[in-house]
């Protein structure tokens, strides 16, 4: 068992990522090694048909601070929850395996650059943010989904779906045990629970580079995601611990 607590844990959910993972880890460790704080990286793989798990395990022999977890069932939300609760860092940041946000942005989610918040979420919409190379159709589908999220669940956020979010250890340990959605919409549920718990959440504008190898299936996943929003809206009172946590 490990007893040390690093300053930062990075959690990478990985599903069929054998092509993108090696370069991502190389870039990420090059950045982290140059920082004054201690860090660790968790790759959480589930449901892959390729060699992602074996590759991550091989890479963990090269990178001393890389840890690998595996789940059978699919779901990005499932993987992030597992990593957030296994990690030991004072700050715990989820990062997509395509590293569509350059690692030099990571400092903007952490003290000394940002303090006094429980959750910092990367935003492609906040003033100062910039998207590169995103196809128009994909952009507008994303914006339509955000509109739905704002109408149904979270009126205050302009981008809840970017794959980079940083939690304090206390926020992560409070929120992730309450999470029930294991798929793409888990971010919305986590942010919804966080707002009900009156946590301080800040959108951080980032530079974001579109990566064409997306694992979202627009048709099938959009319907599931819209249904998840209705579920979050109508069922939050029955979340495990809701009575105790929300006093209702
Ligand atoms: N562990 C795990 N990761 C997943 C799953 N589905 C997607 N991901 C990861 O979620 C991240 C975002 O996926 P990506 O295809 O880049 O989605 P997009 O950028 O939203 O189009 C990547 O790190 C994926 O590997 C899953 O079922 N399990
Ligand atoms: Mg991506």
> Domain for residue 122, yes or no?
yes
Look-up: residue for tokens 């992030």?
80
DSSP designation for 43: E
Return the beta strands (E) in 73-221 as ranges: 91-94, 119-123, 130-132, 165-168, 201-205, 207-209
Going by pLDDT thresholds of 50, 70 and 90, the confidence category of residue 237 is low
Ligand 1 in contact with 19 (CB < 6 A)? Answer: no
Residue nearest to atom 14 of ligand 1 (CA): 214
The pLDDT assigned to 220 comes to 86
For residue 156, the domain's CATH number is 3.90.550.10
Residues 38-78: tens digit of each pLDDT: 999 999 999 999 999 999 999 999 999 999 999 999 999 99
Kindly give, in sequence order, each residue whose CB lies less than 8 Å from that of residue 217, ignoring residues fewer than 6 positions away. Answer: none
Residues 156-202: tens digit of each pLDDT: 999 999 999 999 999 999 999 999 999 999 999 999 999 999 999 99
Residue nearest to atom 25 of ligand 1 (CA): 14
> Domain for residue 176, yes or no?
yes
> Domain for residue 1, yes or no?
no
The pLDDT assigned to 8 comes to 98
Q: What residues make up the domain containing 156? A: 8-240
Ligand 1 in contact with 99 (CB < 6 A)? Answer: no
> Domain for residue 207, yes or no?
yes
**Structure tokens belonging to residue 5:** 């607590």
Residues 75-96: tens digit of each pLDDT: 999 999 999 999 999 999 999 9
Nearest alpha carbon to residue 70 among 104, 47, 102, 39: 47
Number of domains in the chain: 1
The model carries a pTM of 0.95
Instruction: Please name every residue paired with 120 in a beta bridge, in sequence order, or none if there are none.
Output: 166, 202
């Amino acid at each position: 068992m490990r007893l040390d607590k690093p300053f930062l844990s990075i959690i990478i959910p990985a599903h069929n990522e054998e092509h993108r993972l090696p370069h991502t880890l190389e870039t990420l460790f090059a950045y982290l090694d140059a920082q004054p704080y201690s860090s660790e990286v968790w790759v959480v793989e589930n449901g892959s048909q390729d060699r992602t798990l074996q590759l991550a395990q091989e890479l963990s022999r090269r990178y001393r601070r890389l840890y690998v977890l595996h789940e059978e069932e699919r779901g990005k939300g499932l993987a992030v929850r597992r990593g957030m609760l296994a990690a030991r860092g004072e700050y715990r940041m989820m990062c997509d395996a395509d590293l569509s946000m350059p690692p030099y942005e990571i400092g903007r989610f952490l003290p000394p650059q940002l303090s006094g918040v429980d959750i910092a979420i990367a935003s492609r919409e906040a003033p100062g943010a910039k998207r590169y190379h995103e196809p128009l159709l994909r952009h507008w589908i994303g914006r339509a989904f955000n509109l739905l999220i704002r109408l149904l669940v979270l009126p205050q956020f302009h981008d809840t779906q970017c794959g980079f979010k940083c939690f304090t250890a206390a926020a992560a340990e409070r929120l992730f045990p309450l999470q029930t959605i294991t798929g793409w919409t888990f971010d919305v549920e986590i942010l919804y629970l966080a707002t009900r718990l009156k946590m301080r959440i800040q959108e951080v504008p980032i530079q974001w580079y579109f990566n064409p190898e997306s694992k979202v299936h627009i048709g099938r996943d959009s319907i599931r995601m819209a249904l998840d929003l209705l579920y979050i809206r109508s069922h939050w009172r029955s979340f495990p611990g809701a009575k105790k946590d929300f006093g209702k």
